[in-house]
Structure 1
Amino acid sequence: MGSYCEIYFDKTEVCGAKSAVPDHFCALFQESDRVVRPSDDEDDESPDVVYEACRAVVLSRLDLLGCTANVARERLMAWLAATRETWEEYRSDGAWAEETAVALRSFSVDEWYRRAPEVLATLYSREDATDEVDRHMRDRNGDGWLWFDGYGSLMSLRALLDACADVRSVTLDITALIGGGWIEPDARVCEDRRASAPLDPRPLATTVILAEGSSDIRILQRSLVALFPERADYFSFFNHAELSVDGGAAYLVKFLKAFAAARAPLRLVAVFDNDTAGRQARKQAGALGLPDNMIVVALPDTELARRYPTIGPQGEHVVDVNGKAASIELYLGQVALTKDSVLRRVRWSGYNAAADAYQGEVEGKAEVEAAFLRAVANCSDPVEARKAYPELAEVWTAIFYAVEKAAEAAERKLHDRVADVE
C-alpha cells in the first residue's frame, strides 16, 4: 500500500507523495518549521510530525525560488493557450471534444483563480461537477486543470496559494512516512535534503552570499538569523576565515571572475560596501558580463548616512556619506555606532583617483561590530530586531529583491527552453 506525506492549506489536503518527501515539498520549509504534537487520533499514541509555516512566509520563500505571483500567472496563461489549441485540434477529429473545446473558449485565467478555492476545498468530498470546466479542474488523474504546471509543482502551489487568500498556514505532514518506516522519527528532513544538494540550483540549493570580508559575512549571517529567521536556510555564506581567504572589494571582483570562468552553477550574491571602493568595484563587476546566476548588489543608501558626522583635513562636518564611506558598520544601528552619547565619526582616509572621490570609514569599526554582535545575540523577536536595525533590514530587503528577480528570470528561461524542446 505504501505511506504518504501531504501538503495542507490549513486543514485542507492539497497534494501528496508516496514513500518519500519530494525535494520541491522540502523547498517550502526549513528545519525550524518542524513541529511534533499529540495526534488528533485518540487511538494513536504516536505524535504527529509536521513542518508548518504561515502563508506569508511560504509566499516569501516561493518568491526566492522564482515562483512569484507574476510568473505563476504567466505560466497559467501559457498553459491555457496551449490547452485551448490542443482541444481545438481534438475537436476537428470528432464531436467527442466539442463540449470541452467550447468551454475553454470562455475559460480565463481570472476564472481559474476564482474557481480554485472551492474546487480545492471539495476536491475529495464532492464528485459531481457543476459544468465542463469544473469537471476538468476536479480531475485527479494527473491531467486535471487545477494542476496546470504538474501535480504538486511549486508553480501550481504558488497559484493555488495566491487564489486561496484566506489560508493562514501551509503544512507538510510526514507522520505517515515515519509510521510506515520510510523516515526515521528524528530525521531532519529539510536540513538533510538541502545538505545533500548544495550545488543543484533547483529547488533546494541555497543562495551563496559573498562580501568584501569576513566581518561583513559575520554581520550578514547573524543579522539574517535575527531579522528574517524564516529565510535563514535559504542562504549560505562564503567563509573567508576557513582558508584565510583575502578580502576587499577588489578581491570580491576576482572571486566573481573565477566563479564565472568555472561556470559554477550555484546562485551567488556579491554584496559590495556602499563606499568609494565598493562602488568602483561594483561598477567593474557589472561590466564583466556575468552569468544570470551571479548577482551583484551594493549596500543601499540610508537616511542615517545622509547626514553623518565626519572628520578630515578640513575639520568636522556633517555630510552625506552614502557611496563614499558607508561600509557595513554604518548599518549596525545607532546604539552600536554611538560612543559617549554621540555617533562615531567617519574619518576620511584617502583619495580614489579612479572614482575621483575620497574614501572614508567609521572610527572604531571593530568596537561597532562587537557591540552589534553582543546585542543581536539577545534578539528573540524578528519584528523587534527589524525595528532595532532598520538599515540592516533594508540591506536584506535589497538582497531578497535581487534574488527574487534573478530566480524569476531563471524560471522564465527554463520554461521557454522546455517549450522550445516540446
Structure 2
Amino acid sequence: MGSYCELYISNFPIATTKNEIDPFLLSIFQPNDLVIFDRKIGDRFQLLYGREDSIDEQEIAIQYFNTAQNLKDRLNVIGFTMKKVEKEFENTKRESLERLHEWIKDKSFSNNKNIEDTLKAEIELLRNSNLADFLSASKQIIKNGFKIDKVNSAKPENTVVEYLMQDNYGLEKFPYGYDQRTLLRALLEITKPDEKITYDITELVEGGYYESDPENIYEEVIGNVTYDYKIGDKFLILTEGSSDIQILKNSLELLYPHLFGYYSFMDFGISNASGSASSLVA
C-alpha cells in the first residue's frame, strides 16, 4: 500500500509523493523549519487521508513548515520566479495540446466517440485558458476545500475547476512541468503571505522508510541527490575583505533569517587570501 508525504497550503494538499521525500520540495525548507509534536491520528489533515478506525490513537507528527511569504522569497532566490512559472505553464500546455492531438489521430486509441469528445473538450479548454484562469480556479479549489476524490456535490460552474478536479491527485493537472516547486510558486501567488505551508513526512518516518533521527533526515535526503547539480548547494558570496563578509553575513542573518541558509561566505582565514579588489578579481 505504501506511505505518503504531502505538501499543504493551509490544510489543502497540493503535492504528494509515495514512499520517499521529494528532495526538491524539501530544499525550499531549512532544517530549523522542522517541528515534531504529539497529536491524535484524527487531528491529521483529513481532506487527503485519515484513519477513522484509530482516530484517538496518538502519533508523533513530523513536519516542516514556514509561511507562504518566506517560501516565496526562497523560491525567488533559487530561480523559481513568476517569469519561470509563466514559461513552464506555456511549455507544458503546448506539450499537452500536441499529445492530445496525437491521441485523436491514433484511432487505435480514440476509436470511440466518448473518448474523442473528451479529448476535444480538453483541447478546447487548454486553448482558451491562460495562467490567470488556472490560478483563479486553484484559488477557488483551495478556498472551498474541494475533495480530492470528487468535486463537491454542487458542481462548479468554472470549467477549469472541474478540469483540475478530474483526477485523484489534487492540482497536478495544473500545467507546471515536472518540478513541483514550480506548482508551489504559482500557487503562492494567490496565497496570503502569512498562510502556513506544511510538508508532512509523518507516515514515511512511521513506516520505516527513513532510519535516521528526524533531525538528521534533511541532510540525508538533500545529501543523497545524485543529479548533475547539487540541490543543496549554496550561493557563495565573495568580497574584497573579511570585514565586508562579517557585515553582510550579520545583516543577512538579521534582516532575512529565512534566506540565510541559502548563502555561504568566503572564509579569509581558511583560504589565506589577501583582501583587495584586485585579489577578488584574481
TM-score (norm 2): 0.77
Question: In the TM superposition, what whole-angstrom CA distance separates every residue of 1:181-200 from its partner, at most 9, and x where no partner exists?
Answer: 22234333334545566996
Residues 237-268 of structure 1: CA deviation (Å, up to 9, x unaligned): 121111422222111101xxxxxxxxxxxxxx
| Corresponding residue of 1:176 | 203
Q: 1:118 aligns with which of 123, 140, 147?
A: 140
Q: What is the identity percentage for the equivalent residue pairs of Structure 1 and Structure 2? A: 24
**Off by >6 Å, runs of 4+ in structure 1:** 197-200
Partner SS state of residue 230, structure 1: coil
Name the residue aligned to 1:50.
63
Distance 2:207 2:83 in 1: 39
**Which string of whole-angstrom CA distances, capped at 9 and with x for unpartnered residues, describes residues 270-315 of structure 1?**
xxxxxxxxxxxxxxxxxxxxxxxxxxxxxxxxxxxxxxxxxxxxxx
Q: CA RMSD in A?
A: 3.0
For 1:246, the equivalent position in structure 2 comes to: 274
Gapped runs of 5+ residues in structure 1? 255-422
Q: 1:36–1:50: 8 Å Cα contact kept in structure 2?
A: yes
Give 1:267-306 correspondences, 5 Å limit.
Answer: none
1:190 aligns with: 218
Cα separation, 2, equivalents of 1:108 and 1:77: 8
Matches within 5 A, 1:134-149: 134-138=161-165, 139-140=167-168, 144-149=172-177
1:106 and 2:133 correspond: no
TM-score by length of 1: 0.53
Which residue matches 2:48?
Answer: none
Alpha carbons of structure 1 residues 187 and 166: separation in structure 2 relative to 1, 3 Å: closer
**Closer, same or farther in 2 for the Cα pair 1:142/1:16, shift >3 Å?**
closer
Structure 1 distance, partners of 2:122, 2:16, is: 28
CA distance, structure 1, for counterparts of residue 270 and residue 231 of structure 2: 27
Give 2:36's aligned amino acid.
V
In structure 2, relative to structure 1, the CA distance for the partners of 1:201 and 1:8 (3 Å cut) is: same
Question: Does 1:84 find its partner at 2:60?
Answer: no
Write out aligned runs for 1:16-31 (5 A). 16-31=16-31
2:184 counterpart residue number? 157
Aligned to 2:3: 3
Structure with the greater alpha carbon radius of gyration: 1
Once the two structures are overlaid, the 10-residue window that deviates more, 233-242 or 75-84, is 75-84
Relative contact order (alpha carbons < 8 A, sep ≥ 6): 1 or 2 greater? 2
- CA pair 109-173 structure 1, distance change in 2 beyond 3 A: same
Shift of 1:159: 1.0
Residue 167 of structure 1, CA deviation: 7.0
Query: What's the offset of the Cα at 1:34?
Result: 1.1
For residues 14 and 194 of structure 2, the distance between their equivalents in structure 1, rounded to whole angstroms, comes to 12
Residue 303 of structure 1: aligned partner: none
Structure 2 counterpart of 1:7, one-letter code: L
Counterpart of 2:65, as a letter, is E
**What displacement does 1:70 show?**
2.1
Query: 1:222 is matched with which residue?
Result: 250
Please give the alpha-carbon distance, in whole angstroms, between the structure 2 residues aligned to 1:66 and 1:58: 12
| Residue pair 1:53, 1:169 contacting (<8 A) in 2 also | yes
Q: 1:147 and 1:78 mapped to 2: Cα distance?
A: 8
What amino acid maps onto 2:130 in structure 1?
Answer: S
Secondary structure of 2:138's aligned partner: helix
Q: CA deviation at 1:2?
A: 2.4
1:115 & 1:231 partners in 2: Cα distance?
30
Gaps of 5+ in 2: 43-55
**1:85-129 deviation line (CA, Å, top 9, x unaligned):** 443454455660332223333222221111112345325152477
Instruction: Give the conservation status (yes or no) of the 8 Å contact 1:206–1:235.
Output: yes
Q: How far apart are the structure 2 equivalents of 1:63 and 1:100? A: 32
Q: Give the 3-state SS of the residue equivalent to 1:176 in structure 2.
A: helix
